[in-house]
Structure 1
Amino acid sequence: MNYSKLSETKLFRGIEKSSIERLLSDCNVVQKSFEKDEIIVFEGDECTSIGIILEGLVDIKKVLSSGKEYTITTLYPGDTFGEAVIFSSSNTFPAMVIAKCRTVILFLSKESIINLSKKSERFLYNFLNILSDRILLLNSKLKESTFITLRQKICNFLLEEYKKQKSFKIKLPLSKYELAEKFNVQRPSLSRELIKMREEGLIDFWGKEIWIKNLEKIEDYLFESS
């Protein structure tokens, strides 16, 4: 097992490699590899362990009754999945987990998490920190769902990225296709709205960058009822 990679993950951040090896010596851990588009977890599967991404990328997807797949989020090396479900009263995965490319994942059982939390205060802190971040993410998703128009969704996204990047020049973390999927619209609809916003002097854009030109007006759109 590559303990240097584990020390770079959110769950073991701040813990020395030698300490990780010692902590995991009597834990139930399994490392698995997955190929591109391979399903790691099905929606409704029982959650008996959390997954730690050592290599690759995974998509968390929801399959609608129509058969359409909706990507909730993409996780990167160092991220985890299942931590918000494993200790819940209904411990089943609410969505599907799929490898976006060749991916290596370490699975850590529920019993192991309890034991590690007893042995290492830093591990417990990291685990609670991940849970707190997950709650904030869910709150953000809930906030997004209250916006009615596509423009409101775009404005909210730009404001969130403006706060993160601390710049009026926003480097898009998603492709236009992924952004349209995030807003639950077709890509041409997103492109038309961005063009309208540029014509109105709210933004400008080129490639994977969007410039905020009228921050005050963009903020005003979040409080419109329609």
Structure 2
Amino acid sequence: MTLINSSAYYTLLAPLSNTELQEAIRTKKVKVKNYVRNQMIYLEGDACKTADIILNGKVAVERIDENGNLLTIAEFLPDDLLGGNLIFSKNPYYPMTVTAKSKTTLLEINQNYLFELCHQNPEFLRTFLQYISDHALLLGDKIKHHINRSIREGLITYIAGAMRLQNSTQIRLDMTKKELAERMGVQRTSLSRELQKMKQENLIEYDSKIIRVKNKDYFLKP
């Protein structure tokens, strides 16, 4: 089975030759798994037995708060790794649900082979340690960013980021309001209510596809 033409497309696989990779697939030390949109990959409490490289698609780490709201903690894209910070833990269980947000393909590396690679390939070990260190900090920041944040604060952060990214005060929405509410971990009706308040305060105008910022300084405070 041919997975990729060159392992260099994926950061963690770059230290491996295509021959090594194909042999690992043949001997089932690594496996390719496919998921459809909205399919659960791991449930909260599932044991982490593999480290999974996202080959294509999009994956979300989610939790449900005490009010039943779905909160998207983080999203992962191709070349990202799932389970790298858990697989060698004394408590290797997923603390949150992991869901495929689009058609997704993962490359699952079993624990024994991952340990073998770390032991025998110093460059792989360096890449693996660097990756899990960087992303542990990133995920921690995202969790802290979401917890105890008001809907208004979440909207200010989103709008400010979109203005910088699009270099415009007229923001094209890349998701539905339902998807934005899920990302912020709030109900859609609560999000709509807060958007309406911001409109009444003459901060924004909006429709289903665009948010027009009327008070730029409010969102881009130093």
- After TM superposition, is the score higher than 0.5? yes
TM-superposed deviation, 1:38: 3.7
- C-alpha distance in 1 between matches for 2:206 and 2:102: 29
Deviations 1:130-183 (CA, angstroms, capped at 9, x unpaired): 541342232133133243x32122112223444555554444443211211233
User: 1:144 aligns to what?
Assistant: 146
Distance 1:141 1:208, change over 3 A: farther
| Matched residue type, 2:151 | L
Give the aligned CA root-mean-square deviation in angstroms: 3.4
Deviations 1:49-104 (CA, angstroms, capped at 9, x unpaired): 11122244334332557776544344333332112222333211112223345432
Q: TM-score, normalised by structure 2?
A: 0.75
Distance 1:173 1:161, change over 3 A: same
- C-alpha distance in 1 between matches for 2:143 and 2:190: 21
User: 1:135 aligns to what?
Assistant: 137
Unaligned stretches of 5+ residues in structure 2 = none
Write out aligned runs for 1:16-165 (5 A): 19-22=17-20, 25-26=23-24, 28-63=29-64, 69-117=70-118, 118-119=120-121, 121=123, 124-125=126-127, 128-129=130-131, 131-147=133-149, 149-165=150-166
| Matched residue type, 1:121 | E
- C-alpha distance in 2 between matches for 1:205 and 1:10: 40
- C-alpha distance in 1 between matches for 2:122 and 2:167: 35
Answer yes or no: is the 8 Å Cα contact 1:7–1:20 preserved in 2.
no
| Matched residue type, 1:191 | S
Query: Is it true that 1:182 corresponds to 2:183 in the alignment?
Result: yes
- C-alpha distance in 2 between matches for 1:110 and 1:130: 15
| Of 163-172 and 53-62, the range deviating more from structure 2 | 163-172
Q: TM-score, normalised by structure 1?
A: 0.74
Matched residue count: 217
- C-alpha distance in 2 between matches for 1:107 and 1:163: 36
Distance 1:160 1:85, change over 3 A: farther
Answer yes or no: is the 8 Å Cα contact 1:53–1:78 preserved in 2.
yes
Answer yes or no: is the 8 Å Cα contact 2:72–2:185 preserved in 1.
no
- C-alpha distance in 2 between matches for 1:163 and 1:114: 42
TM-superposed deviation, 1:127: 5.3
Answer yes or no: is the 8 Å Cα contact 1:204–1:210 preserved in 2.
yes
Deviations 1:11-69 (CA, angstroms, capped at 9, x unpaired): 33xx38x8243356358211223344443222212212111222443343325577765
| Matched residue type, 1:156 | T
| Of 65-74 and 28-37, the range deviating more from structure 2 | 65-74
Distance 1:167 1:135, change over 3 A: farther
Query: How many percent identity over aligned positions?
Result: 29
- C-alpha distance in 2 between matches for 1:134 and 1:8: 22
Unaligned stretches of 5+ residues in structure 1 = none
- C-alpha distance in 1 between matches for 2:199 and 2:53: 41
